[in-house]
Amino acid sequence: MKYDPGFEKSPLPFAPFKSLTVPRPIGWLSSVSKDGVENIAPYSQWQNLTFDPPMVMFAANQYPDGRRKDTVINAEETGWFVWNMATWDLREAVNISAMALPPGDSEFDRLNVTKKKADLSDTPMVAESPFHFECRYLSTHRIPGNSTVGSIDVVYATVERIHLDENCLTPDGRIDIPKAKPIARMGYYDYTVVTDTFEMKVPSSDADEMAGLAGQPA
Ligand SMILES: Cc1cc2nc3c(=O)[nH]c(=O)nc-3n(C[C@H](O)[C@H](O)[C@H](O)COP(=O)(O)O)c2cc1C
């Protein structure tokens, strides 16, 4: 079975594309409007771009009526947003935060989480989340899709400050992922949770390349 998604309907009852780009880390992104309305929403079209300097991106689909997502507007207007790690313990809050509310209403009012302010801007962060990136807005790349919803704002940002909960570090100073239990998006209504990791080293004698994979400073 095969098909060309640009021209043909999916041969399956549910389009397979999103179910094949898995697992997708979740950008649980908090922001604030220029009028002070606090906002938080999950974005699974979210990634790191590079590490020197650390940069991230997310892609926001427009609403069916053509409105752009509040997270994008807030990032553009204030210059900041925060990534909060979405964890197993916070999964219900992550889900509720995806509700589409009018721009004047804050998703935070519906979540059972503690807010704390970021250091570098007025952006709220989820205190219970073990890791945060304070992200400085860089630019937006608008890409038209085949439909209003398919059209995206790709937002680029640099990571200016990283917050680390020391309870979620291993004794040798690594991020304790099985302890933090990040959740990630699959297809359909499915998610996965990272509780297992395994180690592999590239059979290479290049010490610099190995150090880069391990995250050691150059
Ligand atoms: C797990 C999850 C991942 C999501 N990923 C995206 C995404 O990558 N892009 C997007 O436009 N919407 C995504 N959504 C939907 C948004 O979270 C939703 O439209 C939200 O209301 C946007 O809020 P905002 O307008 O306050 O930014 C996702 C929803 C869930 C539950």
pLDDT tens string 177-208:
999 999 999 999 999 999 999 999 988 778 88
Q: How many domains does the chain have?
A: 1
Confidence of residue 124 (pLDDT cuts 50, 70, 90): very high
CATH number for the domain spanning 117: value is 2.30.110.10
Specify the residue with its C-alpha closest to ligand 1, atom 2. Answer: 42
CB of residue 148 inside a 6 A radius of ligand 1: no
Average pLDDT of the residues in 123-150? 97
CB 100 less than 6 A from any atom of ligand 1? yes
Report if residue 35 sits inside a domain: yes
Please work out whether the CB of residue 123 comes within 6 Å of at least one atom of ligand 1: no
- Is 99 inside a domain boundary? yes
* pLDDT for the residue 173: 96
Which pLDDT does position 104 carry in this prediction?
83
Mean pLDDT, the chain, rounded, equals 95
Assess if residue 4 is contained within a domain. no
Domain membership of residue 14 (yes or no) is no
Q: 94: pLDDT confidence band, cut at 50, 70 and 90? A: very high
The residue whose CA has the least distance to atom 7 of ligand 1 is: 43
Asked if residue 77 belongs to a domain, the reply is yes
In a domain, 11, yes or no: no
Provide the pLDDT for residue 218.
59
pLDDT tens digits along 6-31 = 899 999 999 999 999 999 999 999 99
Residue 114: closest CA among 133, 93, 100, 141:
93
Contact status, residue 26 vs residue 185, Cβ threshold 8 Å: yes
| Structural domain of 164 | 23-214
Q: First CA to last CA across the chain, in angstroms?
A: 46
DSSP per residue, 171-193:
TTS-B-HHHH-BEEE-STT-EEE
Examine residue 96 and state whether it is found in any structural domain, yes or no.
Answer: yes
Q: Let me know if residue 109 belongs to a domain.
A: yes
What is the reported pLDDT for 213? Answer: 85
